[in-house]
Amino acid sequence: MKELSRITEAFSESVIREMTRICDAAGGYNLSQGFPDFESPELIKQAAIDAINQEKNQYPVTFGEPELREAISKKASWYNNIKCDPETDITVTCGATEAMIATLKAIINPGDEIIVFEPFYENYGPDGILSGAKPRFVSLNPPDWDLDLTGLESAFNMNTKAIIINTPNNPTGKVFSKSELGEIAKLCIKWDVFAITDEIYEHILYDGTKHVSIASLPSMQDRTITINSISKTYSVTGWRVGWAIANKIVTERIRKVHDFLTVGAPTPFQHAAVVAMDFEESYYLDLNDHYNKARSFLFDLLERTGFSPSLPEGSYYIMTDVSSLMEWFSVDNDVAFSRKLIELTGVATVPGSSFYSDPLKGKHQVRFTFCKNWDTLHAVEKALKKLSF
Ligand code: GLN
């Protein structure tokens, strides 16, 4: 066999998805991969079924069904304070995952650098490699995940093409404040850099924290690509409907990449997404209420069990230090810790190293998700009692 692609040779398997498989094989409790195990909203399930029965089963308009682009534009206006033209500024993609890689493919040239906050959602690593960008990592430091402005400033240079922001953040739960985003915006303007912002957890916020879209800050709309999806907000991670909002010229390029990569996101689910995006405010309040309670429950449980968790301001993850449990587990790194935790309790997490460029940096951390129903969370409480000492 001839040599396979050198680019993909360096990829490891997605640790998040691997943990799900290990968990399923062990019949455990999946607090690793961030997908809800409760029912998706009835109304949109019915809307998807109706769309199929109405024969909306063929290719969509490649860059998104007009009704959905209209709904995205409306929501971006009321929730994100972003004005965009559905005809020219929106590309509907197969989830935020495709929106990110299509965006990078659309703007990156050899030698370009991208700035990525670390720890980062594991896809951004391979996304950088696939697009040919050279990543520069800027650390967010536990337990508060504060932004180190000096470190950020020194990451910008003439070769910087874009900065990737993820707020609310996976895996840390950090929500970037308006003033932090303002500082990032100043640097983007100074160095003529794109902001690529993944905002899929924008409705999952705690303690009165507000979500701010960097595209809404002065002089930023034209240089920002705002990525989002219905996965987390409407609890339908398997539907694969996401989008990118960008200026007309960037959108033209993203649409071309998207068209040749996937042609389109599933047509019936695009039509169901239109219904989702018209939900009343009470839907979002109920979602937040569940996640608020689940966050407190898991945070208290982890503290009681001997972990040292960081309280998230948004999203549905808790990063925790596990140093104090490692000796008792007879392990010296996060991967061994996660495996042992499944073995002892059936509870699956994601090893911290999968969120860092240098695995050593995540050696003492694991990530739990709490986007689960109460039966699962209570079962986890019972399972973790096995660790009482
Ligand atoms: N975003 C989710 C997580 O971080 C799911 C990732 C995935 O498998 N696509 O767990």
Helix (H) or strand (E) holding 110: none
Pairwise CA distance, residues 155 & 66, whole Å: 40
How far is ligand 1, taken at its centre, from the CA of residue 66, in Å?
28
pLDDT of residue 13: 79
pLDDT(389) > 70: no
Query: Of all protein residues, whose CA lies closest to atom 3 belonging to ligand 1?
Result: 34
User: Is the confidence at residue 270, as pLDDT, over 90?
Assistant: yes
30 Cβ closer than 6 Å to some ligand 1 atom: no
* Residue with CA nearest ligand 1 atom 4: 34
Whether 31 lines ligand 1, by a CB cut-off of 6 Å, is: no
Q: Of 31, 33, 121, 371, which is best to mutate to test ligand 1, by the most ligand atoms within 8 angstroms of its C-beta?
A: 33
Counting atoms of ligand 1 from 1, which one is nearest the CA of 369?
Answer: 10
Q: How far is the CA of 232 from the centre of ligand 1 (A)?
A: 10
Whether the ω angle into residue 142 lies within 30 degrees of 0, i.e. cis, is no
Tens digit of each residue's pLDDT (9 = 90 or more) over 329-341 = 999 999 999 999 9
Give the ligand 1 atom nearest the CA of 20: 8
Q: Phi and psi of 366, rounded to 5°?
A: -135, 160
Average pLDDT over residues 272-277: 98
- Using an 8 Å Cβ cutoff, are 265 and 93 in contact? yes
- Where do the domains of the chain lie? 7-40+281-384, 44-276
User: How many residues would you count in the chain?
Assistant: 389
Q: Which atom of ligand 1 is nearest to the CA of 350?
A: 10
Tell me how far apart the alpha carbons of residues 218 and 237 are, in angstroms, rounded to a whole number.
33
Q: How far is the CA of 289 from the centre of ligand 1 (A)?
A: 22
Q: How far is CA 294 from CA 33, 152, 314, 318, in A?
A: 16, 33, 12, 11
34 touches ligand 1 (CB under 6 Å): yes
- Residue-level pLDDT at 214: 98
Q: State both tokens at 161.
A: 């093409």
Contact 231, 337 (CB under 8 A): no
Q: For residue range 144-177, what is the model confidence (pLDDT) as tens digits?
A: 999 999 999 999 999 999 999 999 999 999 999 9
Give the nearest ligand 1 atom to 14 CA.
8
Residues 188 and 217 sit within 8 Å (Cβ to Cβ): no
3-state SS track over 47-93: HHHHHHHCCCCCCCCCCCCHHHHHHHHHHHHHHHCCCCCCCCCEEEE
Is residue 142 very low, low, confident or very high in pLDDT (cuts 50, 70, 90)?
Answer: confident
What percent of the chain has a predicted confidence (pLDDT) above 70?
99
Q: Which atom of ligand 1 is nearest to the CA of 32?
A: 10
- 17 CB near ligand 1 (under 6 Å): yes
- Average the pLDDT over 107-134 and give the result: 95
Pocket of ligand 1 contains residue 100 by CB under 6 Å: no
- Mean pLDDT (the chain, rounded): 96
Model confidence band, residue 275 (pLDDT cutoffs 50, 70, 90): very high
Q: What is the mean pLDDT of residues 48-74?
A: 98
| pTM for the whole structure | 0.96
Q: Residue range 200-214: average pLDDT?
A: 97
Which candidate, 56, 72, 16, places its Cα nearest to that of 277?
Answer: 72
Rounded (to 5) percent helix, strand, coil in the chain: 45, 15, 35
* Ligand 1 contact via 33 beta carbon (within 6 Å): yes
Report which ligand 1 atom has the smallest distance to the Cα of 170.
Answer: 4
| Exposed e or buried b per residue across 199-210, where buried means at least 16 C-beta atoms within 10 angstroms of its C-beta | bbbbbbbbeeee
Residue 311: Cβ-neighbour burial (10 angstroms; 0-12, 13-18, 19+): middle
Atom of ligand 1 nearest to the CA of 200: 1
| Distance from C-alpha of 138 to C-alpha of 117, rounded to nearest angstrom | 5
- Say if CB 345 and CB 386 are below 8 A apart: yes
Give the pLDDT band of residue 59 (cuts 50, 70, 90). very high
Residue 36: CB atoms within 10 Å: 21
Residues 6+ apart with CB under 8 A from 229: 95, 96, 99, 200, 241, 242, 243
The answer, yes or no, to whether any atom of ligand 1 lies below 6 A from the CB of 45, is no
Mean pLDDT across the stretch 237-260? 98
Report, in angstroms and rounded to the nearest whole number, the Rg of the chain calculated over CA atoms: 21
The residue contributing the CA closest to ligand 1 atom 5 is 34
When pLDDT is averaged across residues 84-91 and rounded to a whole number, the result is 98
State the CATH class of domain 44-276.
alpha beta
355 has pLDDT over 90: yes
CA of 35 to the centre of ligand 1 (A): 7
pLDDT higher than threshold 90 for residue 232? yes
175, 140 in Cβ contact below 8 A?
no
Burial class (CB in 10 A: 0-12, 13-18, 19+), 54: exposed
Which pLDDT value is given to residue 72?
A: 98
CATH architecture observed for domain 7-40+281-384 = Alpha-Beta Complex (3.90)
d(CA 163, CA 185): 10
